[in-house]
Amino acid sequence: MEDIRNELDKLEEYLKIKPLYWDFDKGEFVWIDTRLIPWKELYRSTKDYHRVAQAIKEMEIRGAPAIGVSAAYGLALATIYSNASKVDDLLKDVKEAYNVLASTRPTAYNLFWALNRLWNVILSNYEKNDLEDIKQNVLNEAHRVYIEDIKNNVNMGKYGSKIIENNSRIITHCNTGALATAGFGTALGVIRYAFYEGKSIHVYADETRPLLQGARLTIWELKKEGIPSTLVVDGASGLLFSKNMADLAIVGADRITLTGHVANKIGTFNLALAANYHKKPFYVAAPTSTVHPTENPNDIVIEERSQDEVTNIMGKLNITVDGTEAFNPAFDITPPEIVEGIITEKGIVKKPYLNNFKALLYGRQ
């Protein structure tokens, strides 16, 4: 445990914004409630995996990497606080928690990747028949998921900053910063890293309807970092590119297939089309834990959320006629043909994505 805490200490320099973490003294999971930003910065905590599942489902915690890390800690909580006296009973408790957590957000692949990773730790230690050893190993694995996410984000920043020239003007969509990860960020992490290198940049942040993650969260992060930024409506990208006010777009992802199909916040496809029409590069930044090892984009499940998110603003103001029906898909899928490159912690993947992802992930084509 000491080596894990030492490694965490070394990463503190990258955590100017700390969206979630493990409280070693209290033995509980802590996160910032992103629904309340920018009006309030409120941290919540729990020892109950049901509460973690609720936080993911209700978007107190959001962003695929953050969901994955939180699910890992949720499963760890279920493991270490189980009252089971036998390993078989522990497995039953943890499997129940697995199912609860897995049911929260269907599109974010990091969720399932993290849950399977911890579940495999339990199975690999099953024969030891040592409850306390299993519990400690599962918690340690959750810590590793957390640590790796931060490291991966920083490495994405190093690779991705190479595509950002000095004086670049960048459009981004939704929130892909520290608040969407264990810390630092994916697409916004790339932008952040370029800024740290001393490059002069300007960010156009889409407001990102209906929950305004761009207006509320991305601008909040950019202001904290002092990165020059402008908030724009979601439909502004075509105009920005046509007037030569923007040079490229960088977004995150909730799920990517081996073929390079990218599921991300609704409106991403529109941004990619605008960039492609104006011959501007459209990049995606995501860790390899977001890559779903399938060649079939139809395997991507698109989450549909409540109509109420569309018909009112953050539950505060109705904006349409009572009884109006609304369609609220949380994500869309951008085809690989219009994606310039996918920035990962292992490098930038280019077309043909199927061959290059197989080479990157499995060492073969």
**Tokens in use for 59?**
């978007």
Phi, psi of 204 (to 5 degrees): -100, 115
Residue that the structure tokens 């608040």 belong to: 179
Phi, psi of 21 (to 5 degrees): -170, 170
105 is in an annotated binding site: yes
280 is in an annotated binding site: no
365 is in an annotated binding site: no
DSSP state string for 109-150? HHHHHHHHHHHHHHHHTGGG--HHHHHHHHHHHHHHHHHHHH
> Which one from 254, 299, 308, 332 is the annotated catalytic residue?
254
192 is in an annotated binding site: no
213 is in an annotated binding site: yes
| 3-state SS assignment for residue 20 | strand
Residue that the structure tokens 């073969």 belong to: 364
62 is in an annotated binding site: yes
DSSP state string for 329-363? BSEEEE-GGG--EEEETTEEE-SSHHHHHHHHHHS
DSSP state string for 259-324? T--EEEETTHHHHHHHHHHTT--EEEE--GGGEES-S-GGG----B--THHHHEETTTEE-S-TT-
Q: Within 13 Å and on the Cβ side, how many CA atoms surround 163?
A: 27
64 is in an annotated binding site: yes
List the one residue out of 87, 254, 196 whose CA is nearest residue 95: 87
CA distance 319 to 56: 26
Annotation says 254 is catalytic:
yes
Residue stretches of the annotated binding site: 62-64, 105, 213, 264-265
Catalytic positions: 254
Residue stretches of the annotated binding site for substrate: 62-64, 105, 213, 264-265
